[in-house]
Amino acid sequence: MDRSKIKRAAELIRTSKYGVAFTGAGISVESGIPTFRGDGGLWSSVDPNYFEIEYFKKKPFQSWQKIKEIFYDKFVDVQPNISHKILSAMGNRGFIESVITQNIDHLHQVAGSKFVYELHGTYKQLVCTECSTEFDMSFADMSFLPPTCYVCKGVLKPDIVFFNEPIPKFALSRSIAEADKSDVMLIIGTNAEVYPANTIPVKAKDSGATLIEININKSGYSDTITDIFIEGKASEVMEEIGRLLYL
Ligand code: NAD
Ligand code: ZN
C-alpha cells in the first residue's frame, strides 16, 4: 500500500465539498461475495444466460433455481465489511453525500449508508412480471420456484437488472446528478466494463471532480481518468483512510 497516496486521498476527501462514492463487486469480495469476472469470478462457473431477461421470461424456473442458489441462499449470512462501514461513517460525518453502487447485495444499507443509488437494482426486492407489484423478499415463498405474486399469481422476478434490461430510471438520473455535483469521487472495486454504469465516473471527471480509485488491479479508469490510483484490497485501504479521518 502506498501510504503517501492514501494520505493525499484522505486529505482530498476531508476537504471535499461534495464527495461521492462509486462501488462495484470488489467492495463485497471481503464479505464473501465473489465478483462476476476475473479469477474465481462467478462467470467462470455459472452460465450468464440465467441472468438474461428473455431466458428468464421463457424459463423462470431454471433461472430462479440458479439465482436462488447464487444469491438468496448465500446472502443470508453475508455481512458488510469494514469498507462498507467506513463509507457509512463517512456519510454520517459529511465526508461523502451518497453511494452509487453497481452491487445488488444491499450491504451499503445494512452498514448504515443512507443515500444509496443502486444502478443494478437489489436482490432484497421482488417485482411481479405481470402487475408490477413490488414485494420485500421476506414475503416470498422460496420453497416453490418461481415465487409468485400474491395479487395476480404472476411470476416474481428479483428486482435486479438482468442482461438486456434497462437501468432503473430513478437510480440512473440520481447517479448522474450526484456525479455532476461531486468534486471528489471515490471509486472502489469496479473494472469499468458494465455500460452505462461505467459512464458515471466519466461524468464526475467531466464536471471537474478528482477521482480516487481503490482496486487490487488496474481497471479501465486507472490509466485514463483516475487521478490517484491506490493499489490494494478495499478493506486495507479503507481502514487506513478511515483512521486518517478519525472515523
Ligand atoms: P466485476 O466483478 O466485473 O469486477 C470487480 C472488480 O473488483 C475488479 O476490478 C477487481 O479487480 C476488483 N476487486 C476484487 N477484489 C477486490 C478487493 N478485495 N478490493 C478491491 N477491489 C477488488 O464487478 P463490476 O465491475 O462491479 O461489474 C459486474 C456487475 O455484476 C456489477 O455491476 C454488479 O451488478 C454485479 N455483481 C454484483 C455483486 C454484488 O452485489 N456483490 C457481485 C458480483 C457481481
Ligand atoms: Zn402480480
- Residue 106 annotated as catalytic: no
Find out whether the beta carbon of 233 lies less than 6 Å from any atom of ligand 1: yes
Find out whether the beta carbon of 101 lies less than 6 Å from any atom of ligand 1: no
**pLDDT tens digits along 152-196:** 999 999 999 999 999 999 999 999 999 999 999 999 999 989 999
Strand order, beta sheet including 116-118: 116-118, 98-101, 19-23, 184-188, 210-215, 228-231
Annotate 109-126 with b (16+ C-beta within 10 A) or e (fewer): bbbebeebbbbbbbbbbb
Q: Cell for 157?
A: 422476478
List, for the chain, all residue ranges whose pLDDT scores fall below the cut of 50.
none
Q: Which segments of 15-61 are extended strands (E)?
A: 19-23
Calculate ∠ Cα 39-24-68, nearest 5°. Answer: 75
Find out whether the beta carbon of 105 lies less than 6 Å from any atom of ligand 1: yes
Specify the pTM. Answer: 0.95
pLDDT of residue 87: 98
Residue 26's CB: how many other CB atoms inside 10 A? 23
Spatial distance between the Cα atoms of 11 and 210, rounded to a whole number of angstroms: 12
